[in-house]
Structure 1
Amino acid sequence: MKYSIFSMQVVMPLRGADDPTYRELHKLIRTAPERTNYARMHDYYGRICNVLRREANRFELGVWDYWDDPSRAPNDFQDWVDGLEGNEARSQPAQDDGRPRHLVCTLAMLLQNGSTSDQRMSAHCDIAEEHLWSRNTFRHLLKGPALLNYLHVKSDLVYLLPGDDAECALTTEDLSGEDWHYLRPLT
């Protein structure tokens, strides 16, 4: 079978260890439904995307892709899966220097190439080049997963940094390192 991929990663400042957005996303991810129930998966991603859309004005950095190139999609998806290993995550809190800390939320979906869901996502991701890196575009793209029939989603992932310990949120210095070179500033 051939696949397409939709992926997105957003970075926003954390409003302290008790940031309501972080807590809500963390709880949603920790209570993810079983993969075999397509209706629950639709609802699950809808709730995650709603939380993120509500906070889109806070997005500082981000990246997104939609590829309907079957030779590229599986490898790109695997790159996002490899990110789950947490190589970019902090294992210890940074020294408190009064500077902002950040959370990172990542979504990726491997879609059955040519399916109605893939066609919907392709049309949804048809964004003019001058608008690719705006918060409004990310807000728009976060409506995409609601267009999908999860029967057509071969694999999916969502992850959040920091993980269980908000004190391990990323610093600006962390985000300017080589592991995050692909992120774009959002306007």
Structure 2
Amino acid sequence: MSLPADYFDELFANSDDPWAFQTRWYEQRKRDLTLAALPRQRYARVFEPGCANGELSLRLAQRCDALLCMDMSARAVELAGQRLQAFAGAQVLQGCLPGDWPEGRFDLIVISEWAYYLTPELFTQVVERLDASLTAQGSVLACHWRHPIDGCPMDARQAHALLDEHLPMQRTLRHEETDFVLEMWSKQPGGIDLDEQVR
């Protein structure tokens, strides 16, 4: 069984930053590495489910024309919406995957620090929907804490194994440290575009 919505509502009831995204060096460094791992300077449309209070969302919004964020906590949606007010192309919705799957296609889908909250069965349903939601050049980036988390149905190793098993794409990046693993799968596994202009 996946963790219920009220688990996250309770976390945000006690703090606007329950995982200390804004203050922990680990979180700041991981965000920097996540953004540095993206091979394209800019994306047309990005989807970030599980956006929490929008700390990573803010950085993603600077790298794309349109950003769709989603979280199951109403308070998280409110906080992320406030953070992204300056970006006309950013939208934050309340919802939970796989049930509340958004319409349209994306160049990039970011799965950061939430897959292990789902059961393997539910996360497999999420993974199986990813391919159909990507553009022809689309990519999936996943990053997760590698240590066990009490009450979670999975760990990072299991979640990333399901991504690797069910995504019909080539894995183009893998970065593993003691604390987290960062991977990317791409439909068109080309390298860095050396001719891409800095904006």
Which of the five TM-score ranges fits, normalised by the shorter chain?
under 0.3
Q: TM-score, normalised by structure 2?
A: 0.23
Q: TM-score, normalised by structure 1?
A: 0.24
Quick check: which one's helix share is greater? 1
Q: Which has the higher contact order (CA 8 A, sep 6+)?
A: 1
